[in-house]
Chain A
Amino acid sequence: MNDTWTPRIVVFQCQYSLYCEADQMWMDTQLPPHIKLIQVPCTGRISPLFVLNAVQGGADGVLISGCQPEKCHFKEGNLGARRQLDEFRRFLAYLGMEEERMRFAWIDLSERGRIQQELADLEETIRAIGPNKRLVTRAITIGEQP
């Protein structure tokens, strides 16, 4: 395994995800270059198209981070997302992309440091399974340009 390879990760973050301020500050300013952050108003806004586009553009992993049920800023957006993205993950796995690459994490304000933990965890999982070889069909736009 090539130690110098860094997994490319795309994070879709609900902008109301109640990270504590320190965590949010970290997300906004200290995110490593191989992680691309895309903020959305609500995870309910996330269409499978976003995930597919990320994967086609070279993402080895996709993390979707949103508010817990009953704490959605828009009441039920995160519930709508749950069903669709669950199935999309299954569908991409059917086409050969490992299930572990896509994750959905609901984070509460009180869970300090959770987001960094999730990212580290995802990175470790991706390192174990290697770079994504399926569906990567566009110019890579995440992290260091090849």
Chain B
Amino acid sequence: MYKILSKADLPRLIEKWMEQATVYAPVRQGDFTKFEPLNDPAQADLYYAANTRYPPKALFLPQSEVMFRAKNGELESTEDEVSSRVILGIHSCDTRALQLLDGVFLTGDYQDPYWAKKREQTTLVVLGCADPCETCFCTSVGSGPFDKRGADVMLIDVGDEYVADVRNKKGQALFDPLPDASQEQVDTSRRVQAAAAAKMKKPFESEGIKDKLYSLFDSDFWPKVQQSCLGCGVCTYLCPTCHCFDIVDEAQRSERVRNWDTCMFRIYSQEASGHNPRPTNTERVRQRIMHKYAYFVELYDEIGCTGCGRCVRYCPVDLDIRQIIRSAQAWEES
């Protein structure tokens, strides 16, 4: 179902949503934007930056999440401390990433209640990218700037208006009162989407990447590639699909907390005995790339990367995953 929303009417619509839910949108902070709960629709800045630096996965898997508190000898879980939310202005890459993470957190036998409840309570109003960035590569990993998977509503910018592709009941609850889009407007939106995808360059071919990476496991490729990697956590923390965490009991705060962890740190896999199955940067860099482009594919039949480009932009040493995959595909054992 397609609705039409003029950009001038968006603030009023947000206000309406705010009566029933907390609305999150990119808010300007210094030179970049971050998803924050809005006090005022005017705070939302959907276009200042192509995407936020800090990924919106933090709204579902917070960097530090209190799991339960100890109070008077009782344990109080925080899983129900979640209210109705709307996330406006999230892009397709990040939305698709949430869907991929559903595969991790909502497996048949065990559903992570913290993740599940937040996902249930949140409506995603996705803003597709009419003008993809130089560092975006979603089309190379099976996605695209207007990938609708996971979206409750997809907004397509057609100039002074958005054509809103309302995908399900959650989306309808937010967009029902709006007028339907005309056929002409829908056609325009289709042209915008096709043009955006066509503009994107394809830095690598992902066909067969899983098997190629497996074949390179013991090769000299990895010791070479890892040389410039500093082993910091920028790529993993900014990545919308990275999800590893460490659980800590903070005694002074009487809380059990789940914190993001990164496989790029030596201590990530350090065992109490002193043994470390990934003792050097080589093993760790290899693991990171293979987790996204081989192991994830093995487990879920999907590439575990959505091409958002944050790791490419913010890696302190310009270690570029696009270049790594392209080199891997081309690598010939000598």
Residues of A within 8 A of B (CB): 138-139, 141
Give, as a whole number of angstroms, the nearest-CB distance from A99 to chain B.
28
B252 to A, closest residue via Cβ: A139
Residues of B within 8 A of A (CB): 252-253
- 4 A-B pairs in the complex with CB atoms less than 8 angstroms apart: A138-B252, A139-B252, A139-B253, A141-B252
Give, as a whole number of angstroms, the nearest-CB distance from A137 to chain B.
11
Please indicate the chain A residues that have their CB under 8 angstroms from the CB of B252 in the complex. 138-139, 141
Please indicate the chain B residues that have their CB under 8 angstroms from the CB of A138 in the complex. 252
Please indicate the chain A residues that have their CB under 8 angstroms from the CB of B253 in the complex. 139
Please indicate the chain B residues that have their CB under 8 angstroms from the CB of A141 in the complex. 252
User: What does DSSP make chain B's interface, helix, strand, loop or mixed?
Assistant: helix
- Give CA–CA (A141, B253) in the complex, Å: 12
B253 to A, closest residue via Cβ: A139
Give, as a whole number of angstroms, the nearest-CB distance from B267 to chain A.
19
Nearest 4 CB-CB pairings of A with B: A139-B252, A138-B252, A139-B253, A141-B252
- Give CA–CA (A139, B253) in the complex, Å: 7
Please indicate the chain B residues that have their CB under 8 angstroms from the CB of A139 in the complex. 252-253
- Give CA–CA (A138, B250) in the complex, Å: 12
A57 to B, closest residue via Cβ: B252
- Give CA–CA (A139, B252) in the complex, Å: 7
- Give CA–CA (A138, B252) in the complex, Å: 8
Give, as a whole number of angstroms, the nearest-CB distance from B108 to chain A.
41
Give, as a whole number of angstroms, the nearest-CB distance from A55 to chain B.
15
Give, as a whole number of angstroms, the nearest-CB distance from B249 to chain A.
15
B254 to A, closest residue via Cβ: A139
- Give CA–CA (A78, B144) in the complex, Å: 64
Give, as a whole number of angstroms, the nearest-CB distance from A146 to chain B.
14
A138 to B, closest residue via Cβ: B252
A141 to B, closest residue via Cβ: B252
- Give CA–CA (A109, B115) in the complex, Å: 63
Give, as a whole number of angstroms, the nearest-CB distance from A138 to chain B.
6
- Give CA–CA (A138, B254) in the complex, Å: 12
- Give CA–CA (A132, B253) in the complex, Å: 21
- Give CA–CA (A8, B9) in the complex, Å: 56
Give, as a whole number of angstroms, the nearest-CB distance from A128 to chain B.
30
- Give CA–CA (A20, B252) in the complex, Å: 36
Give, as a whole number of angstroms, the nearest-CB distance from A82 to chain B.
31
- Give CA–CA (A138, B255) in the complex, Å: 14
Give, as a whole number of angstroms, the nearest-CB distance from B250 to chain A.
10
- Give CA–CA (A82, B164) in the complex, Å: 67
- Give CA–CA (A138, B253) in the complex, Å: 9
B251 to A, closest residue via Cβ: A139
Give, as a whole number of angstroms, the nearest-CB distance from A115 to chain B.
29
Give, as a whole number of angstroms, the nearest-CB distance from B72 to chain A.
15
- Give CA–CA (A21, B253) in the complex, Å: 39
Give, as a whole number of angstroms, the nearest-CB distance from B70 to chain A.
13
